[in-house]
């Protein structure tokens, strides 16, 4: 099974800050990497698929990069509504379609 490791597990940043979340796969997954955002009490929603493609209708301040084993999610200018937990997920080796442990983003 492929293990997904996210870091940090939590962070706090000011509005307008640039935020980067890292996700590492236990072996190469090419670009088979998706990112999700989950706000408290709600279902997750797809943010980015294929490592770097922004889901339709979402703000361009979100971007993804990486290939192989190392990936990043970047929020270029953090907004209050971005307070949430972010998860990476690999879709290379199925099953299981494993998720990272999550990164909780808080606003200072």
Partner 1 sequence: EVQLVESGGGLVQPGGSLRLSCAASRFIFSNYWMHWVRQAPGKGLVWVARIRGDGTSTEYADSVKGRFTISRDNAKNTLYLQLNSLEADDTAMYYCARGPSGSGWSSFDYWGQGTLVTVSS
Smallest gap from residue 17 Cβ to partner 1 (A): 24
Smallest gap from residue 103 Cβ to partner 1 (A): 10
Question: How far is the CA of 93 from the CAs of 40, 53, 102, in angstroms?
Answer: 29, 20, 20
Select 75 or 87, whichever has its Cβ closest to partner 1.
Answer: 87
Taking the C-alpha atoms of residue 72 and residue 100, their distance in angstroms, rounded to an integer, is: 12
Smallest gap from residue 15 Cβ to partner 1 (A): 26
CB 22 within 8 A of CB 6: yes
Q: What residues are paired with 7 via a beta bridge?
A: 22
Asked if 34 interacts with partner 1 (CB under 8 A), we say yes
Interacting residue with partner 1 among 12, 28, 77, 94 (CB under 8 A): 94
Q: Which DSSP symbol is given to 27?
A: S
Q: Binders of partner 1 among 37-56, rule CB under 8 A? A: 38, 42-46, 49-50, 55
84, with CB counted inside 10 A (0-12, 13-18, 19+), is buried
**Chain contacts with partner 1 (rule: CB under 8 A):** 32, 34, 36, 38, 42-46, 49-50, 55, 87, 89, 91, 94-102
């Amino acid at each position: 099974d492929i293990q997904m490791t996210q870091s940090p597990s939590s962070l706090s940043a000011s509005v307008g800050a640039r935020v980067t979340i890292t996700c590492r796969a236990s072996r190469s997954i090419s670009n088979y990497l998706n990112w999700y955002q989950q706000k408290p009490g709600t279902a997750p929603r797809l943010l980015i698929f294929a490592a770097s493609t922004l889901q339709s209708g979402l703000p361009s301040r979100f971007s993804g990069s990486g290939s192989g084993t190392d990936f990043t999610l970047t929020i270029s200018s953090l907004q209050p509504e971005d307070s949430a937990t972010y998860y990476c997920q690999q879709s290379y080796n199925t099953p299981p379609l494993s998720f990272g442990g999550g990164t909780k983003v808080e606003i200072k």
